[in-house]
Amino acid sequence: MRALVAMSGGVDSSVAAALLLAGGHEVVGATMKLWGGPSDSGCCSVADVEDARRVCQQLGIAHHVFNFTAEFEEEVVAPYVEAHAAGMTPNPCISCNAHLKFDRFWLRARHLGFDAIATGHHARVTATSEPGPPLAGRAGSPPAGPAGAHGDCPGQGPAGPGTGRVVWRLRRGQDLGKDQSYVLYMLGQAQLAELLLPVGEMTKDEVRRRAATLGLRTAAKPDSQDVCFISRTGGRQSFLGDRIPVRGGRLLSAAGADLGEAPDLELLTVGQRRGLGPAAYRSEHKGTPERRYVVGVDLRARTATLGTLEQLLVGSVRVGPVSWAAGALPAGARAHVQTSAHGRAFPARWEPAPEGGGGRLVFEERIRKVAAGQAVVMYRLELEGDVVLGGATALP
């Protein structure tokens, strides 16, 4: 099989390429150049491209650089800035996955005749054979039996000699501490059928050990933590401040009392409790001060409302259109719902909006309010919430 590996210059994608090569596949590495501006943290600095290229040279495979800076600006950066201007908390890594990695990059791999793409994400793709008509997949791929890119991959083939349809499932990575299935929720059958996640079966330590054994220069490279287009030195404040007006406002108590000056409202997030100044510790009532959180931001009124943890808790979240991995969840069905990249999942009931498009998740216990713009990902209740059902963006 011919696989195009998306290589960020980090250890996970380096090892992903090495594993596929060891598995006898024809492997080509490619690094996306996404951000044209200054960067010191993310995945598209020249140093990272050089790391990816050097790893490919060490492995003896070709390496290419794809310039997607214009698409990145249009599909990721501009919507990120707009979302902040609208008082939301966007997740640019998710829009990058949806528009760049699993759209532009994937399409390019198809154009260039690759059978599959691979990334270094910690998640797993498996196939199951289920009764029913075939789901969307690569045109011309057989509806039953080994289909898509996984047919000849041990451990990823369809479970048993089924006679029904093949359904591709996105599952959490072996290393639950590093699991990245949350940021991959947008993958449908077509993408899953052509996606290889070679490090999903490994722990991060195993990945690093493997890289070290192979002598790859990325073996000890620290994980990237930050948004790639926001520099560590300037931060979000300087990035957003250059593009939209970023201003302070007033802090209000839940009862509406003025608690003082608010920091830049466009940078505040629901659920935040740091960086709010002394007002955050001022109690409305006499007694011991209680920790305060942002429970709401109103850009029109230029206010942020603070509240206690109790006031932050909600029973449900409204979401926009859902990207289902393999068909919609029936109304009233239950799922495990995760609302942040490394947070825990909570059981909830799915209530689709009558007019369609989105819906509401009603939790069985109250959870911290989800900031608008964040991803809400549903996992199957069974099997300890291992399988991604789909996901959507939280609405205000």
Token pair in block for residue 368: 């911290």
H or E segment and range at residue 106? helix 106-111
Q: How far is the CB of 93 from other proteins (least distance, A)?
A: 12
Token pair in block for residue 22: 């060891």
From 26, 73, 103, 206, residue interacting with other proteins (rule: CB under 8 A): 103
> Other CB atoms closer than 10 Å to residue 255's CB: what's the count?
8
Our measurement of the distance from residue 55's CA atom to the centroid of its chain's CA atoms, rounded to an integer in Å, reads 25
From 16, 27, 43, 49, residue interacting with other proteins (rule: CB under 8 A): 49
By DSSP bridging, strand 293-298 and strand 303-307 are: antiparallel
Does position 218 interact with other proteins (CB under 8 A)? The reply is no
By DSSP bridging, strand 195-196 and strand 116-118 are: parallel
Does position 236 interact with other proteins (CB under 8 A)? The reply is no
Q: Is 96 a catalytic residue?
A: yes
Does position 67 interact with other proteins (CB under 8 A)? The reply is yes
Residue with tokens 């920790």: 291
Beta-bridge partner residues of 260: 251
Q: Are 261 and 282 in contact (CB under 8 A)?
A: no
From 8, 31, 180, 339, residue interacting with other proteins (rule: CB under 8 A): 31
Which region, left, alpha or beta, applies to residue 260 given φ > 0 means left and ψ of -120 to 50 means alpha?
left
Q: How far is the CB of 131 from other proteins (least distance, A)?
A: 23
Contact stretch for other proteins (CB under 8 A) within 17-25, 187-195, 234-242, 300-308: 187-195
Q: Is the CB of 277 or the CB of 321 nearer to other proteins?
A: 321
Does position 108 interact with other proteins (CB under 8 A)? The reply is yes
Q: How far is the CB of 350 from other proteins (least distance, A)?
A: 16
Contact stretch for other proteins (CB under 8 A) within 228-236, 263-271, 289-297, 315-323: 315-323
Q: How far is the CB of 75 from other proteins (least distance, A)?
A: 8
Contact stretch for other proteins (CB under 8 A) within 66-74, 266-274, 308-316, 334-342: 66-74
Q: Are 192 and 168 in contact (CB under 8 A)?
A: yes
Distances from the Cα of 136 to the Cαs of 64, 186, 311, 314, 381, in angstroms?
30, 14, 44, 37, 24
In the sheet where 293-298 sits, what is the strand order? Answer: 258-262, 249-252, 303-307, 293-298
Does position 1 interact with other proteins (CB under 8 A)? The reply is no
Contact stretch for other proteins (CB under 8 A) within 17-25, 110-118, 287-295, 330-338: 110-118
Q: Which of 235, 211, 262 is nearest to 55 (CA)?
A: 211
The site map against other proteins for 81-100 (x = CB under 8 A) is -------------xx--xx-
From 22, 37, 74, 136, residue interacting with other proteins (rule: CB under 8 A): 136
Q: What DSSP state is assigned to residue 98?
A: I
Beta-bridge partner residues of 351: 360
The site map against other proteins for 278-307 (x = CB under 8 A) is ------------------------------
Q: How far is the CB of 76 from other proteins (least distance, A)?
A: 10
Q: Is the CB of 44 or the CB of 88 nearer to other proteins?
A: 44
Q: Is 56 a catalytic residue?
A: no
SS3 label, residue 357: coil
Does position 341 interact with other proteins (CB under 8 A)? The reply is no
Q: Is the dihedral of CA 50, 52, 56, 59 positive or negative?
A: positive
CA trace torsion 350, 355, 358, 361 (10° rounding): -30
Catalytic residues: 96, 228
Positions that interact with other proteins (CB under 8 A):
31, 33, 44, 46, 49, 53, 64-67, 69-70, 94-95, 98-99, 102-104, 107-108, 110-113, 136, 186-188, 190-191, 321-323, 393
